[in-house]
Chains A and B, each alone.
Chain A
Amino acid sequence: QKEVEQDPGPLSVPEGAIVSLNCTYSNSAFQYFMWYRQYSRKGPELLMYTYSSGNKEDGRFTAQVDKSSKYISLFIRDSQPSDSATYLCARQVGGATNKLIFGTGTLLAVQP
């Protein structure tokens, strides 16, 4: 079992829809979780990060962590064609490195 599991999609939605992207993780330690957006042939771009449990909102984006079920979610409201990209969830490891462990990414297409 991978440490961070993510449905690769692809996920296709009409413009204006609410998008729900999800990951599960296996490690129980307190930690940060990140969501990155990656456009084709570009590097990952940090969208949001949140600590072990709870919600965080930033504009049209809401990140949610459910520690009891080890579930990470990203919600996108009023989705736009410009949101079409691969969305990567990541767990930040503790210790001296704080390296990131990524899921496989979910490919999202928002149809105009």
Chain B
Amino acid sequence: GAGVSQSPRYKVAKRGQDVALRCDPISGHVSLFWYQQALGQGPEFLTYFQNEAQLDKSGLPSDRFFAERPEGSVSTLKIQRTQQEDSAVYLCASSQLSWVGGGQRPYNQPQHFGDGTRLSIL
């Protein structure tokens, strides 16, 4: 398809288990973002990749959260030793990268989101 694809759509895990969530960005999009959305809240930033480089992981809530994008396309968000507070919708977004300021400064075009993975920790 043409949009951002995430899998699985739903994931139920027992507390303490490890989970892996997958994101396929829009083809050709250099930039990839992960967000966490709690019930009744707006999405909150987790981490950002430009190609395979993880340039910002300031939003990852703990060292149990790990993200990778080894070939600059598909990305995986891994949560180790899951806790109940990890229950949320995990959203992936991708965007095109432009260069502004005479080609000196990168700028991310508006982000396009997938439908997310709804994670429930029992």
Known: A43-B114, A43-B116, A44-B113. A99 touches B45 (CB 8 A): yes
A-B contact count (CB 8 A): 62
The DSSP consensus for interface residues of chain B is: strand
> A43 near B4 (CB under 8 angstroms)?
yes
Nearest CB on B from A41, distance (A): 7
Known: A34-B110, A49-B110. A104 touches B55 (CB 8 A): no
> A99 near B113 (CB under 8 angstroms)?
no
Which listed residue (A4, A43, A90, A96) contacts B91, Cβ 8 A?
Answer: A43
Which listed residue (A46, A90, A97) contacts B48, Cβ 8 A?
Answer: A97
> B56 near A102 (CB under 8 angstroms)?
no
The residue on B at minimum CB distance from A43 is B113
> A97 near B56 (CB under 8 angstroms)?
yes
Contacts of A44 in B (CB 8 A): 43, 91, 113
> B42 near A90 (CB under 8 angstroms)?
yes
Q: Give A42 to B113 CA distance when docked, in angstroms.
A: 9
Most central of B41, B50, B114 by chain A CB within 10 Å: B41
Q: Mark B42-69, 1 if CB is under 8 A from A, else 0.
A: 1111001010000110010000000000
Which listed residue (B50, B106, B111, B115) contacts A100, Cβ 8 A?
Answer: B111
Nearest CB on A from B116, distance (A): 5
> A88 near B42 (CB under 8 angstroms)?
yes
Nearest CB on A from B7, distance (A): 13
> A46 near B110 (CB under 8 angstroms)?
yes
Q: Give A100 to B112 CA distance when docked, in angstroms.
A: 12
Contacts of A97 in B (CB 8 A): 48, 55-56, 108
5 A-B pairs with the lowest CB-CB distances in the bound complex, closest first: A102-B42, A98-B108, A43-B113, A99-B45, A43-B115
